[in-house]
Copies of this chain bind each other. A is one copy, B any other.
Amino acid sequence: MNRDKPKYMQIIEAAVIAIAENGYHQTQISKIAKQAGVADGTIYLYFKNKEDILISLFKEKMRVFIENLEEIIQTGANASDKLSKMIDNHFSVLANNKHLATVTQLELRQSNKELRLKINAILKEYLNLLDNILVEGMMNGEFNPTMDVRVARQMVFGTIDETITSWVMNDFRYSLLDNAPKVKHLLLNGLKNN
């Protein structure tokens, strides 16, 4: 399998850097190849085409988010705690990798609808875990049991996403992590069972 070979991740890491620094459309295959220290043609031994690099990159990075979230779900005390830890994790992974933040929040979206659908499919697994947390909270009385799970998920994810995108658009000028408690407080307030 390609992803077990060293050059696969080498190219993906190069793509994250190159795309974050130059923007998706300004990042030619030759730039990624140069950054990765391989020839242009070598890229095509590991990826079908340029779009495939983006998809694979997102898949690999989402894997971290998902693995972390799975562990959070196993160790969290309750739904509120799990949601809180999920937000902490989401923020801290990106706060620690600004290149990746730039790519996921800005560059990845510069793609046509077809590519967006593929990205959404990958995101699905992550959002399903979020749904599980929400349902758990609805069933055990932490969250409003009558709320629409899809809308609740969209609020949670939309808020996280907008918060991070603003931080990226503002050139990381303030601490993302400082916003985590405020975000959690507002969201949990919105979800809670009155």
Residue numbers of A with Cβ under 8 A of B are: 23, 25-26, 106, 109-113, 116-117, 120, 144, 147-148, 150-152, 154-155, 157-163, 166, 169, 179, 182-183, 185-187, 189-192, 194
Are B169 and A163 in contact (CB-based, < 8 A)? no
Q: How many copies does the complex hold?
A: 4
Are A151 and B186 in contact (CB-based, < 8 A)? yes
Are B151 and A183 in contact (CB-based, < 8 A)? yes
A111–B106 Cα gap in the complex (Å)?
Answer: 9
The residue that A157 contacts in the complex, of B152, B162, B183, B191, with Cβ under 8 A, is B162
Query: Min CB distance, A18 to chain B, in Å?
Result: 14
Closest-by-CB residue of B relative to A161 is B158
Chain B contacts for A152, CB-based, 8 A: 186
Closest-by-CB residue of B relative to A111 is B110
A159–B166 Cα gap in the complex (Å)?
Answer: 14
A155–B23 Cα gap in the complex (Å)?
Answer: 27
Chain B contacts for A23, CB-based, 8 A: 112-113
Chain B contacts for A159, CB-based, 8 A: 154-155, 158-159
Are A162 and B169 in contact (CB-based, < 8 A)? no
A190–B116 Cα gap in the complex (Å)?
Answer: 30
Chain B contacts for A113, CB-based, 8 A: 23, 106, 169
